[in-house]
Every structure is written in structure tokens, then in C-alpha cells.
Structure 1
């Protein structure tokens, strides 16, 4: 899965949404051999806005996917999987669109859900999509939650993150 290895730094920003009772802000779950997970509260307004924007612009992702433009690569969708009162947002790669249905391969080892596992190919419920992205050379398209969580990183972490993935954020 060379595709997944290339985007592992971006998958570092997998989100796990928890109830507001867990306290303000966000925190990281460190995992040996796996990307960290950023834990974000359910009531995080900026995250909710990023997800809303991603959903409202999903047609841009679909247009790019259908274009077969050889400059476009690494098509990925972030999907929410329910887990009781919380949910885990997991990136899926190798996206295809067949008869108006998206399919993708689970690109993260889930932390809290047992509904999917790394490497599973699943049909994607579009109502559960929380973000999308693809690359054009070093330019990231979409990735609204990625951009938000990157923006929240301390400057030294941002520099390291940018170095690891080599993408341009705008």
C-alpha cells in the first residue's frame, strides 16, 4: 500500500470526537507504530465548521475524481464511525466512484471502533463524510480538518508536519 505510506503524516490528524465532558481543547493519543490521533470535543465550533465546509464542497472532490486528471492524486475521504456517544473519524484511501457510490480502503488503524479495520474496503455512506482531500503535486485540495488541526499546532510541530508530508497548505 504505497499510497497509504505516502499520506501517513496526514493521517496523523485522524480525529476522535468525544463528549464535552472530557474537558476543553484537544489532546493527542500517542500510538506506537501508528499515527497519533487528535481528540476533539463534539462541540468544537471550528471543527464543526470545517466539517460543514467539507460536506458543502464534496462536489469539487467528485469533479476532480471523475476528471481523470493525471496531476491529481491521493484521493481520500474522512468518514465518521459511531462509537456510542462519540465517533471516530477515519481516513479512507484509494477512493473509487461506482454507480454514484464511493468506495475506499480504511487507511488508519481504528482506536475505538470495531466496525472497520485497517485495509478493509468499504462502501462509504456520504452522510458520514467529514472531510475530503486530494493532492495536485505538492498542493493539498480540501483537507479542511487537516488544515484546522495543523493551524492549531505549535509552530515547531507545524514545521515538522510540513517537512514530513511535503505539501503546501494555503
Structure 2
């Protein structure tokens, strides 16, 4: 389980257009239209995620939050997620690579309609996490294949 969360903490991206800022920040090399489509797909299915969350029918839950600072946006997985009255609350699960207004372990709130992705895990399988798909091309083949095998589509 920790390995899945570690891999997912590496899979966040930015719209800032910079190249290599940190080892875990993906800033290019993926299809931006595919990423946009993945975000829209996740948003359309958010109610399904909330239903599973309410039933506590998975091991872990996370949502991806776009966070903007000084015109730069970075997307973070929030873990230990709760949901109430249209708001997700979770903990930022990785160190920032570009923005400076958040830090690892900080609590963050985001409106349901503003998330850029969601996911939950059952065992070593990942449900949701649609923004992972466009990013797989940026990873070494072995790592991408390992992660792809865990994704349930």
C-alpha cells in the first residue's frame, strides 16, 4: 500500500510550463489534451467516488487538488480525505515543486467541482486516478508497466 501511495505522490503535474524542477514534478512530455480529458472524466465520475467513500468500501481514498500560487498551478494528491457539504478535506501528500503556498502534511480543502482527479485503492489495485494515464509515457517502461497493471479501468 505504501508503495502505491509513493508512486502516486510522484504522479502530479503542473501547468506552469517549466522543465525539471524536482525529481517528482512532471511538467511536460505528456499529451495535454489527454490530461484535460482525464480531468473531465474524473469530474464526471466524482459522485461514484463519493459513494464508495461513504460506504468505506476501499482501503485508501485520495483526491487531486490544483493549487495556484503566483500564476503557477501544481496538482497535489490529498490523502486521508473526508467529504461533507460539497467540500473535500485532505492532507497534502507530497512536497511542492513550484508553488510555495502549501507544504507537505498541510490540511487542504477543495470544492467537489474543483478537483482534478480522485482515486481509491483496494489491495494493490487503483480505481480512478485517470490523470495517471497520460503521465505514464514520462516514466521508465518498467515503472509504467507496473503502475498500469494496478489500474482498474
TM-score of the superposition, structure 1-length normalised?
A: 0.76
Cα offset for 1:169?
Answer: 2.1
- Distance 1:29-1:74 versus aligned 2 partners, 3 A rule: farther
Structure 2 gap segments, 5+ residues each: none
Given candidates 30, 41, 44, the residue that maps to 2:32 is 44
Q: What stretches of structure 1 move > 4 A for 4+ residues in a row?
A: 3-6
Q: What is the DSSP-based 3-state SS (H/G/I as helix, E as strand, rest coil) of the residue aligned with 1:118?
A: coil
8 Å Cα contact 1:81-1:128 kept in structure 2: no
Kept in 2, the 8 Å contact 1:138–1:167? The answer is no
Whose relative contact order is higher, 1 or 2, with alpha carbons under 8 Å and at least 6 apart? 2
User: What is residue 79 of structure 1 aligned with on the other side?
Assistant: 65
Aligned residues: 151
User: Which residue matches 1:91?
Assistant: 77
The answer on 1:168 being equivalent to 2:142 is no
User: What is the CA-CA distance between 1:148 and the residue it aligns to?
Assistant: 2.2
The correspondence for 2:11, drawn from 6, 10, 13, is: 13
Distance 2:142 2:99 in 1: 31
Q: If each structure's strand is expressed as a fraction of its own residues, which one has the higher value?
A: 1
Q: Quote the RMSD (CA, aligned, Å).
A: 2.6
Q: Highest CA radius of gyration, 1 or 2?
A: 1
Give unpaired runs (5+ residues) of structure 1: none
1:105 aligns with 2:91: yes
- Correspondence 1:66 to 2:54: yes
Q: CA deviation at 1:80?
A: 0.3
Within-5 A mapping of 1:22-37: 28-31=20-23, 36-37=24-25
- Tell me by how many angstroms 1:16 deviates: 1.3
